[in-house]
Structure 1
């Protein structure tokens, strides 16, 4: 469905009935990356809410980096929940979706039933994770360079982007979207606004809700240590799970294992009505 939130038109997939689960994608995806989880969650009695972030997929792509501050994404998520009458929801995020659901829970802790952080841990852990993570994050500096990053990703008919994604199951769908220069630039905006260092005093701990961290052993972009360090920033019950043999896009590469893990965690984290 189309939804006008904070003056921006967003594409939001809503399906199923029951307790609400918000599924937030990262770069360079759309809500479609959750299709296996949506089916499993709906069958288990949950309503799923999976938006395309502003700048991605079928959602609006406003001009200007000021429209892509992390606070705007957080405001969009809370606005979607308000429009759908959702008081509290399980918040699940992958890649950039993970820090966004964490920031949403920090900004409005009363709206979160639980947090699931896939691939990316607490924002404070990226720098603290050490040399392995620093080497894997090299592209984040390149993505700051407007025009240069777009050229690098799209050159040779997007051959560089194909290699960089390293086996994304939906690679051709991603490339088809990124052939629109507006989509290529707007999707990179989250890197250009979201990586500014925060003073240590502003790195908030997560609210006291059940929190699950999931990392996959074949992740080319994130080191396990960053997810493990997330425990230091959690104030509620913490659970860590490692999925061996899957790459960064674990929800697409190992859907059965991700679904089983997510259903088990959400069941335990759902209070009785």
Structure 2
């Protein structure tokens, strides 16, 4: 347990050497990096993965506005300092990716290199994201569903283990896909989970023990984690000073070709432009064939190989 930025964070740690901070997404925990600890530590790095605020054994502030991107970046900055380090490599997946990207954007002096999985580098649009999606999809986009106070909280907590099992399978590369699945739209009457398939057998990369560990990490509910979504428009306001800015530290971006996030409206075109937008992108975006949303869990060998090479080359 580490005290940072006014909260107490639970961390998992392994290895010695230059610090690598691994930031999980939703609905996950430090455990989502279980396949990365050994290989990165063996490659000569000190690997630390926190339960981010609102998750797992870490603190869950009650105030919704205690989960802005500035708070989350502040947690990373505080963690680096609390661990006695001056700089770190920062790697994030899903929601952890925007935190990693923004840490590099706001505090490049602290970041040796940054890698994002699934979610590409930040591109601040002309309009607040929740308001834009509300108008574009009549409130059915999953961001808006998650942002409604108490709604998804109750839906997921009703049967946490089943909710997580359906969530993880449905967003994975193992689940069947149709053209209509390209946008995660939610029927407000039926909810997010109603039409998700519930697998009889879990994929090989996500065992019953993994599901048990994840279920336990949400034993206190989902509200803290969902509060991240409730700050999306507030984040847009807070990051106005960085409108048009790009990440200049050495960077790596990886995603699965069956992940819905990189297929969001406008995102494929943005990914194609990344090599021209980011001066220190280590290589063109890495697309993993047959991989869904849970990048480092579904394709650990490929992710680990790319991370080790990138982290080694991006300097110590």
Q: Name the TM-score, length of structure 1 as normaliser.
A: 0.85
Distance 1:218 1:13, change over 3 A: same
Segments of structure 1 that go 5 or more residues without pairing to the other structure are none
Superposed CA deviations along residues 94-114 of structure 1, whole A, max 9, x for unmatched, are: 111111011111221111111
Alpha-carbon distance, 1:123 to partner: 2.5
Distance 1:121 1:127, change over 3 A: farther
| Superposition pairs of residues 1-273 of structure 1, within 5 angstroms | 2-124=1-123, 138-155=141-158, 159-167=162-170, 169=206, 170-181=210-221, 184-196=222-234, 197-198=236-237, 202-223=242-263, 225=268, 226-231=270-275, 233-239=277-283, 240-271=285-316
Is this contact kept in 2: 1:214–1:227, CA < 8 A? no
Is this contact kept in 2: 1:205–1:233, CA < 8 A? no
Q: Which has the higher helix share?
A: 1
Give the structure 1 partner of residue 130 of structure 2.
Answer: none
Secondary structure of 1:218's match? coil
Alpha-carbon distance, 1:238 to partner: 4.0
Q: Which has the higher strand share?
A: 1
Distance 1:146 1:94, change over 3 A: same
Name the CA distance, whole Å, in 2 between partners of 1:92 and 1:106.
13
Aligned length: 263
Name the CA distance, whole Å, in 2 between partners of 1:19 and 1:126.
34
Distance 1:180 1:208, change over 3 A: closer
Name the CA distance, whole Å, in 2 between partners of 1:93 and 1:228.
20
Q: CA RMSD in A?
A: 2.7
Name the CA distance, whole Å, in 1 between partners of 2:37 and 2:160.
32
Superposed CA deviations along residues 202-225 of structure 1, whole A, max 9, x for unmatched, are: 425334221111011121333261
Segments of structure 2 that go 5 or more residues without pairing to the other structure are 128-132, 173-205
Secondary structure of 1:13's match? strand
Alpha-carbon distance, 1:247 to partner: 1.5
Superposed CA deviations along residues 151-177 of structure 1, whole A, max 9, x for unmatched, are: 333446664553333356244433343
Superposed CA deviations along residues 111-158 of structure 1, whole A, max 9, x for unmatched, are: 111110110012227899xx9xx88x9211100111111233344666
Q: Name the TM-score, length of structure 2 as normaliser.
A: 0.75
| Over 6 Å off, 4+ runs | 125-128
Distance 1:33 1:156, change over 3 A: closer
Distance 1:43 1:92, change over 3 A: same
Name the CA distance, whole Å, in 2 between partners of 1:210 and 1:39.
23
